[in-house]
């Protein structure tokens, strides 16, 4: 069993971006910029946005966190997004989800300029992904593909099973991996809560991507020997032995499944760091395409 070390690979990606930004500074050029919009005081969202901003600073990328009260009107939020749509210093915009219930998430995502849609959530970005055109790929799926690429894991003709159908992970990774490209071109199955028996599908997987949001859901009897396991889950469960009173686990029971897997991502330290690395990569891409 080989661990897919997302932390190590993400650090390599960030170092590469950092060296390119240093060269831009030497030439007296503008640097890429990311604007993160945080609505309300959701603790998890605050941690996510803070880690994204910190990563920007580490590589010399401009960043700003626009903190907004949870009672902001939809109209005011749209005005703030449009301000950054027009700002030449910020090449990427992300609005941290989830949003308060009175805000239409779809409308907010569609307000972000497709040229600055570094999360890859805009319908134009997603549509381009589906038909195989150049676009901003959502960061978690892009990070998963980058891990497969780095470890030279064969994907062509392999049965890739995705557990989960979210717009953020399940649907885009399925569409990304069935494209006729290198480190894709897979036979893709998407299964979800409507299945009578999920294990019927997961046992067939050469590559299993777990993105269902249920802690330790995938057990060893649900996978075959030699499977490649990508665990997207980040779940907090009680742990009295931990000073914090909890521990972070994935959707996969790592202790069980790792005994049968050929490759597996740890949680934490697997997909999570790759997601942030690909956000930075998308922002740099936006800068090169539209803002440099």
Which sequence positions are flagged as catalytic? 52, 96, 119
CB neighbour list of residue 266: distance below 8 Å, 6 or more residues apart: 3, 4, 5, 6, 231, 254
CB neighbour list of residue 263: distance below 8 Å, 6 or more residues apart: 1, 2, 3, 4, 151, 153, 228, 229
DSSP assignment of 119-145, as one string? Answer: T--SHHHHHHHHHT-S-PPPHHHHHHH
Cis bond before residue 268 (omega within 30° of 0): yes
Quickly count: other Cβ atoms within 10 Å of residue 226's Cβ. 11
Bridge partner residues of 94 (DSSP): 36
CB neighbour list of residue 156: distance below 8 Å, 6 or more residues apart: 184, 185, 186
Comparing CA positions, the residue from 45, 85, 108 lying closest to residue 286 is 85
Bridge partner residues of 33 (DSSP): 62
CB neighbour list of residue 158: distance below 8 Å, 6 or more residues apart: 186, 187, 206, 207
Q: Burial level of 221, CB count in 10 A (0-12/13-18/19+)? A: exposed
| Both tokens assigned to 71 | 């009672």
CB 14 within 8 A of CB 45: no
| Both tokens assigned to 152 | 């030279």
* H-helix segments, the chain: 6-26, 43-59, 74-86, 105-111, 123-131, 139-150, 170-177, 198-202, 254-257, 271-286
């Amino acid at each position: 069993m080989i661990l897919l070390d997302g932390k190590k690979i993400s650090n390599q990606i960030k170092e590469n971006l950092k060296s390119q930004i240093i060269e831009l500074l030497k030439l007296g050029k503008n640097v890429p910029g990311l604007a993160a919009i945080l609505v309300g005081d959701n603790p998890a969202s605050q941690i996510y946005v803070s880690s994204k901003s910190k990563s920007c600073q580490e590589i010399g990328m401009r960043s700003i966190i626009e903190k907004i009260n949870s009672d902001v009107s939809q109209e005011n939020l749209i005005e703030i997004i449009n301000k950054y749509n027009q700002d030449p210093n910020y090449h990427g915009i992300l609005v941290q989800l989830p949003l308060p219930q009175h805000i239409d998430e779809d409308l907010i995502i569609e307000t972000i300029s497709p040229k600055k849609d570094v999360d890859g959530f805009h319908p134009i970005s997603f549509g381009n992904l589906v038909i195989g055109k150049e676009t901003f790929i959502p960061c978690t799926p892009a990070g998963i593909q980058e891990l497969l690429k780095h470890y030279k894991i064969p994907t062509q003709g392999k049965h890739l099973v995705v557990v989960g159908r979210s717009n953020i992970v399940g649907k885009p990774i399925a569409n990304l991996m069935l494209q006729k490209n290198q480190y894709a071109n897979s036979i893709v199955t998407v299964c979800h809560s409507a299945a009578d028996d999920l294990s019927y599908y997961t046992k067939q997987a050469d590559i299993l991507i777990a993105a269902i949001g249920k802690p330790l859901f995938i057990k060893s009897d649900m996978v075959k020997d030699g499977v490649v396991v990508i665990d997207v889950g980040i779940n907090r469960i009680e742990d009295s032995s931990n000073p914090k009173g909890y521990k972070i686990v994935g959707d996969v029971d790592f202790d069980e499944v790792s005994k049968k897997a050929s490759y597996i991502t740890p949680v934490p330290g697997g997909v999570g760091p790759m997601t942030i690395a690909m956000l930075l990569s998308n922002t740099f891409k936006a800068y090169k395409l539209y803002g440099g």
